[in-house]
Structure 1
Amino acid sequence: MRLLASRFLRTFQVRGQQQQLLIVNPRVLKYCIMSSEETKAQEAKPGTDTIFGKILRKEIPCSFIHEDEKCVAFHDVNPQAPVHFLVIPRKPIAMLSDVAPSDSELLGHMMVIAAKVAKSLGLEDGYRLVINNGKDGCQSVYHLHMHILGKRQMHWPPG
């Protein structure tokens, strides 16, 4: 069985990440891509300490491209576009589904900061703003955050 599996399992690189391609039926080349981000999202648990909490507490060094009393912005360590940064609130909100009406001002502020930082990074031709929510939304870190991606042509549909 192991020999058979090894004959149909292929490894390749996508955007700098190692991916595996499993050919389920070699005659018609049906396949399943096992993404490391999808795996992280399936295994992530809300209510646990996150890397973003550690960054905010300065337990992990990070160079902020924006910092104020409500949120911070910094470049993604695994960029999916030539420009890829995150905006995260200082308030520990696990996911978008958990926001309260009292968080409206904070969410608006984060959007304004995303636009301000995008402009400062030369994203005048446009950018994509993404919030992953929950495991089916591929959220792998349970601290609300926005991804802002630019300097390349985005495609539709995104997922």
Structure 2
Amino acid sequence: MYEYNLDYIKEITGISAEEAKSLAKYLSKLPVKVLIETYKMQTDYARQNRDKLKKEYMPEYYFAMHLLALKAMKRTESASAIKQELTQHEAERLHKIRTERIKAGRGKKESKKALLVKEKYFDEIKKLYFEDSLSWREISEYLAKYHKVKISHGYIQQKFHEAAMYAEQK
């Protein structure tokens, strides 16, 4: 079913299958705007390397061009870590990649308790607060007693309001 010419990819890129897997892993961790930049770079590489295009291997060709773009981006991003000389263009691209990573909020995961309040027990908390008129402290006791989850009343209130505001914005 999947009969692709991996030798052709290696021939035009010099990238082994193992390095391709590593680049795919790198790709999966990039923020959306940087992902778009990799596809823009792929297009540029495809235009620059038209002489290497074999029509019978179009998927392999564009995959190879994307690998080249990822390799260039990864090199740019890691160049300062290994003290390589960067061109002005590469330095600007590195700055943009880094700021996009920060903007994407990588590493900012909700805590387990926040997810419980915002997702699993949100409707139940809403009912307890608005319909049953329980205080936040009583809701905390309810969750501890009936769901075996210990969450402070202040945290429940904070995360509940965040989830409610998000739901209103939708």
Same fold (TM over 0.5): no
Provide the TM-score with structure 1 as the length reference.
0.24
Which one has a larger percent helix, Structure 1 or Structure 2? Answer: 2
Q: TM-score, normalised by structure 2?
A: 0.23
More strand by share: 1
Larger relative contact order (CA 8 Å, sep ≥ 6): 1
Q: Which has the larger radius of gyration?
A: 2
